[in-house]
Structure 1
Amino acid sequence: MDENSELTDAAARAIEKHRGDRVLDGGALRALAHPLRVKIYDILSQYGAQTASSLAERLGESSGSTSYHLRALAKHDLIREVEGRGNARERWWERPVGGVSFANADAVKTPAGRAATQIVMGEFFRLRQQQLMDFIDRGVASEEDAWQEASLISTATARLTPQQSTELSAKIMALIDETVELHRNQTGDDVRPVTIRADLFPLPELGETS
């Protein structure tokens, strides 16, 4: 099997795997459609299990506030309590493993669903963009050489058909999936959370209005 065939097979596996991703329904989207809840959900996604107290300290909120929002997220199975960890006074919460899609074609057909989707996606990507800008502003100069060399900020442009774009998306996801599966729970002195971001979308043709 040549390299192109292997990439195609990997892409096909990625597409099949992500067919099982959870697509958030209208209720879950509305529950998540609050800037603080998106922040909590994102911290659990990137840094792992947290308590209401640890989240409150990180976010500059009261533990009563973070506890309330944690319960609201748990009501829609967006997060869950960590089994066998914590006690009645201090509960640990985690984001279940697995892909999640904010894009629900049925939800955006209603004004409420469309508004919730816009809030969730807008806040989520605002947070990720802020992380990128923070790295550019401070991290590039302050990180040790090993992490500077290990980081990647890159853009490119190609002219593709929808089918080619789908294939490329699947290849990228296959690489990301493999890395996440291998190293999701890795620990060690040099181990840190690393955000992996892939943006791929069509640009308007020259002369088109947005």
Structure 2
Amino acid sequence: MSKHEDAPKRDDSAAEAPKGESARPEPRERTLDARSLRGLAHPLRIRLLGSLRHDGPATASQLGERLGESSGATSYHLRQLAAHGFVEDAPEYGKGRERWWRATHEGTSFSEELHNNPDPEVRGAVDLFKHEVATIHTQELSTWLGTMNEWGDEWATNADMSDFTLRLTAAQLRELNEKTHELIESYRDLAHSDAEDTAQVRVHLHSFPRKSY
């Protein structure tokens, strides 16, 4: 089980709703399949999608400044993300010829079939995606440690960097992850994002087996 917020889900195969019937709201999370994973599995695309999810709509130039990339590179990869339904135009933000983009879903998860896909290209895309997410997590944690003193004692003493070692079956590991995800989701809408005493909080969850000696 893997969930990431580093873009929102559009079912590319879904038919349009019949006239007179309202379309069902899109899910908040996109489940990746082999085709959509190929469209996302690029380091810059993963970071572009994460930036739009975390920091809101932006232009290619703004994203280039955030990520240290040229606007030409960000424009190209945003169009590729749009072709696979990960981002879309946000025209209400634009002025003149500016083109603004937003993420179409709040997070991504893996479909079960991706983990055992027989296609080497798909397995390579899985590896690239997961390693890039792990790199982003490491960078985010390093940034927090380097800037922790700027946040004051209240934030510094309430942040967490813990690890635990348990002995579980694979089924129990899945149950632990599902319950943890449910608990985290229960906090999603507790406070308004513009409240003065809130800050965007990143929660990393890593749980995996290891060989003991």
When normalised by structure 2's length, the TM-score is: 0.77
Give how far 1:67 is off: 1.3
Residue in structure 1 matched with residue 199 of structure 2 by the alignment = 192
Give how far 1:118 is off: 1.2
Separation in structure 1 between the aligned mates of residue 188 and residue 59 of structure 2, nearest angstrom: 24
- The percentage of counterpart residues that share the same residue type is 36
- Structure 1 contact 52–63 (Cα < 8 Å) conserved: yes
- Structure 2 contact 193–199 (Cα < 8 Å) conserved: no
Residue in structure 1 matching 2:159, options 151, 161, 181: 151
Give how far 1:75 is off: 0.6
Q: For 1:92-136, what per-residue CA distance to the aligned partner results, in whole angstroms no more than 9, with x for missing partners?
A: 222223441145524732111111111111112201111112222
Instruction: Please show how residues 35-114 of structure 1 align to structure 2 within 5 Å.
Output: 35-82=43-90, 84-87=92-95, 89-102=97-110, 105-106=113-114, 108-114=117-123
Where do 5+ consecutive residues of structure 2 fail to align? 1-27
- Structure 2 contact 64–71 (Cα < 8 Å) conserved: yes
- The secondary structure found in structure 2 opposite 1:203 is coil
- Structure 2 contact 56–102 (Cα < 8 Å) conserved: yes
Residue in structure 2 matched with residue 14 of structure 1 by the alignment = none
- The secondary structure found in structure 1 opposite 2:65 is helix
Q: 1:41 to 1:152 in 2, by over 3 A?
A: same
Residue in structure 2 matched with residue 132 of structure 1 by the alignment = 141
Instruction: Please show how residues 6-45 of structure 1 align to structure 2 within 5 Å.
Output: 21-45=29-53
Greater shift in the superposed pair: 116-125 or 174-183: 174-183
Q: 1:99 to 1:63 in 2, by over 3 A?
A: closer
**1:120 counterpart = 2:129:** yes
Q: 1:170 to 1:106 in 2, by over 3 A?
A: closer
Q: For 1:61-93, what per-residue CA distance to the aligned partner results, in whole angstroms no more than 9, with x for missing partners?
A: 222221111111011011222253324522222
Residue in structure 2 matched with residue 177 of structure 1 by the alignment = 185
> RCO higher in 1 or 2 (8 Å CA, sep ≥ 6)?
1
Q: 1:182 to 1:76 in 2, by over 3 A?
A: farther
- The secondary structure found in structure 2 opposite 1:153 is coil
Give how far 1:48 is off: 2.1
- Structure 2 contact 30–105 (Cα < 8 Å) conserved: no
Q: What is the number of residues matched between the two proteins?
A: 186
Separation in structure 2 between the aligned mates of residue 191 and residue 92 of structure 1, nearest angstrom: 27
Q: 1:150 to 1:119 in 2, by over 3 A?
A: same
Separation in structure 1 between the aligned mates of residue 139 and residue 63 of structure 2, nearest angstrom: 19
RMSD: 2.4
Give how far 1:156 is off: 0.9
When normalised by structure 1's length, the TM-score is: 0.78
Separation in structure 2 between the aligned mates of residue 88 and residue 41 of structure 1, nearest angstrom: 24
Q: 1:83 to 1:176 in 2, by over 3 A?
A: farther
- Structure 2 contact 81–87 (Cα < 8 Å) conserved: yes
Q: Which amino acid aligns with 1:110?
A: D
Q: 1:191 to 1:83 in 2, by over 3 A?
A: farther
